[in-house]
């Protein structure tokens, strides 16, 4: 496979032109980044402003009085630690199980031959097209019948597999050279062994990538955990943060402080796997 790590540009232009192009690129990127980061700067700045300074005119982006009040208060106002753990269990559980199930299915779709393979693939893709607003209620009815309301299995099992994940991994598996598998098959290895020992280890970038997608999607999901659980002991972070949005009065400082704390794990996760992330997408057969 061609190396997908960051590479140096081609030395085909004169030094001066190259510097100019780089300079302009840098300016454009900086401009784009400023626009893109603006809401986040506002969020973080607001989390450090005293509540009375948040709604004012003329508006100020940065705080004139910095306060840590919101960051200390938030632990009293909601059970932040408990919410964090619940969200970790939910998002982490869905991610791990989904990665396992999705990869099994993707492997079958990419590497095995059986009647109805392509049709099945299209059907799986089609499930991505119906909005959840209409499937929420039938799923809830099912969970009620199974008596899975307010349980972890009720939260996790309906999300245990994901059409996009299957799609994504299938592409990735298709691009892995067949030689290694064929050698293993000749040696008499079972399919599962090949999947487990050969394919999965080669797929770490893609798995990390998909894992991050699943994790962040479920970490930020408000409605699903809210509908499936009623016990406050099982609430997730988005539900806890939503408690600061009153019908008439929103407690912006606390809300933003909570959001910063809640988003931090995702940001850290992304920064850690950035490199392998790009690698992961590069080899999903889109060349």
Partner 1 sequence: MARNGSAGVLAAPARRLRDGVAYWGASPLRRRRILTAYAFMAPSLLVIAVFLVWPMIRAFQVSFMDYSVLGGSEWIGLENYRNLLSDPAFRNALGNTLYYAAITTPASVGLALGLALLLNQAVPARGFFRGAIFLPVVTSLAIVAIAWTFLLDPDIGLINYWLAKLGVHSGGWLRDPQWAMPAVILVGIWKNVGFYMVMYLAGLQSIPREFYEAASVDGATAWQRFRRITWPLLANTTMFVFIIAAIAALQAFDQIYVMTRGGPFFQTETLVMQIYRLGFTEFEMGYAAAISWVLVLLIFVLSLLQVFYFSRRVVRY
Partner 2 sequence: MIRRRLWLFLAAAALAVFVAACGGGGDDNEATPSQPTKNVTLTFWNGFTGPDRPALEEIVKRFNASHPKIKVQMTIMPWDSFFQKLLPSYGSGKGPDIAAMDSVQVPQYADKGVFAPLDDVYTDNVVPKDKLVQSAVEAGKWDDKYYSIPMNFTTLLLYWNKDMFKEAGLDPNKPPADWKQWQNAAVKLTKDENGDGKPEQYGYAIADHATIPMWPILIWGNGGDVVTKDGDVMLDDPKTVNAVEQWSNLIINKKISPIGLGGADADKLFQSKKAAMEVVGPWMTTGFKEAGIDFGLAMVPKGPAKQVTLGTSVQFVLNAKADDDKQAAAYEFFKYWHSQPSQQYWAVHSGFPPTRTDVGKAQLKENPYVAEFGEYADQSQFYLVGVKDFTKVNTNTFEPAIQRILNKKGTPEQVLGNAAKKIEAQTASN
Segment 220 to 239, residues that bind partner 2, using CB under 8 A = 222-223, 226-227, 230-232, 239
Residue 54 dihedral angles phi and psi, to the nearest 5°: -80, -45
Binding mask 45-84 for partner 1 (x = CB under 8 A): -x--------xxxxx-x-----------------------
Binding-site size, partner 1 (CB under 8 A): 112
Residues numbered 107-166 forming contacts with partner 2, rule: CB under 8 A: 136-137, 140-141, 144, 149
Residue 23 dihedral angles phi and psi, to the nearest 5°: -60, -50
Residues numbered 32-51 forming contacts with partner 2, rule: CB under 8 A: 51
- Contacts of residue 262, Cβ cutoff 8 Å, sequence gap at least 6: 84, 87, 219, 237, 238, 241
DSSP 245: B
Of 102 and 251, which CB lies nearer to partner 2 in the complex structure?
Answer: 251
Q: Which of 146, 250, 267, 271 binds partner 2 (CB under 8 A)?
A: 250
Q: Which partner in partner 1, partner 2, none is near 74 (CB below 5 to 8 A by kind)?
A: none
Of 134 and 231, which CB lies nearer to partner 1 in the complex structure?
Answer: 134
Tokens representing 266 are 């995702």
Which residue shows structure tokens 């064929």? Answer: 182
- Asked if 33 is part of the footprint of partner 1 (rule: CB under 8 A), the reply reads yes
Minimum distance from CB of 223 to partner 2 (Å)?
6
For the purposes of burial, counting CB atoms within 10 Å of the CB of 175, is it exposed (0-12), middle (13-18) or buried (19 or more)? middle
Please tell me the distance from the alpha carbon of residue 239 to that of residue 84, in angstroms, as a whole number.
11
- Contacts of residue 237, Cβ cutoff 8 Å, sequence gap at least 6: 80, 83, 84, 86, 87, 219, 258, 262
Tell me the residue length of the chain: 287
Q: Which of 228, 223, 254, 224 is nearest to 241 (CA)?
A: 254
Residues numbered 99-158 forming contacts with partner 1, rule: CB under 8 A: 100-102, 104-105, 107-109, 112-122, 124, 126-131, 133-135, 137-139, 141-142, 157-158
Which residue shows structure tokens 């850290």? Answer: 268
Q: Which partner in partner 1, partner 2, none is near 241 (CB below 5 to 8 A by kind)?
A: partner 1
The binding site for partner 2 (CB under 8 A) comprises 51-52, 55-57, 136-137, 140-141, 144, 149, 222-223, 226-227, 230-232, 239, 242-251
């Amino acid at each position: 496979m061609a190396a997908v790590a960051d590479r140096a540009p081609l030395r085909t232009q004169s030094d001066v032109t190259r510097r100019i192009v780089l300079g302009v690129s840098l300016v454009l990127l900086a401009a784009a980044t400023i626009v893109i980061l603006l809401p986040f700067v506002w969020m973080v700045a607001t989390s450090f402003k005293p509540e009375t300074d948040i709604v004012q005119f003329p508006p100020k982006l940065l705080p004139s009085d910095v306060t840590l009040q919101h960051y200390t208060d938030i632990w009293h106002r909601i059970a932040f630690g408990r919410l964090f753990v619940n969200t970790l269990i939910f998002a982490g559980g869905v991610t791990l199980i989904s990665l396992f199930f999705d990869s099994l299915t993707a492997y079958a779709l990419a590497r095995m031959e059986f009647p109805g393979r392509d049709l099945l693939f299209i059907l799986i893709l089609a499930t991505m097209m119906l909005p959840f607003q209409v499937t929420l209620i039938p799923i809830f009815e099912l969970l009620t019948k199974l008596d899975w309301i307010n349980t972890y299995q009720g939260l996790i099992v309906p999300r245990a597999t994901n059409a996009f994940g299957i799609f994504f991994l299938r592409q990735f598996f298709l691009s892995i050279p067949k030689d290694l598998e064929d050698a293993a098959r000749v040696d008499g290895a079972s399919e599962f062994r090949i999947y487990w020992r050969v394919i999965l280890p080669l797929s770490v970038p893609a798995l990390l990538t998909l894992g991050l997608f699943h994790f962040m999607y479920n970490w930020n999901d408000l409605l699903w955990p809210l509908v499936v659980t009623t016990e406050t002991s099982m609430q997730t972070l988005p539900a806890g943060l939503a408690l600061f949005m009153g019908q008439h009065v929103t407690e912006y400082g606390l809300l933003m402080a909570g959001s910063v704390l809640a988003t931090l794990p995702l940001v850290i996760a992304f920064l850690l796997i950035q490199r392998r992330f790009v690698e992961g997408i590069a080899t999903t057969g889109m060349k």
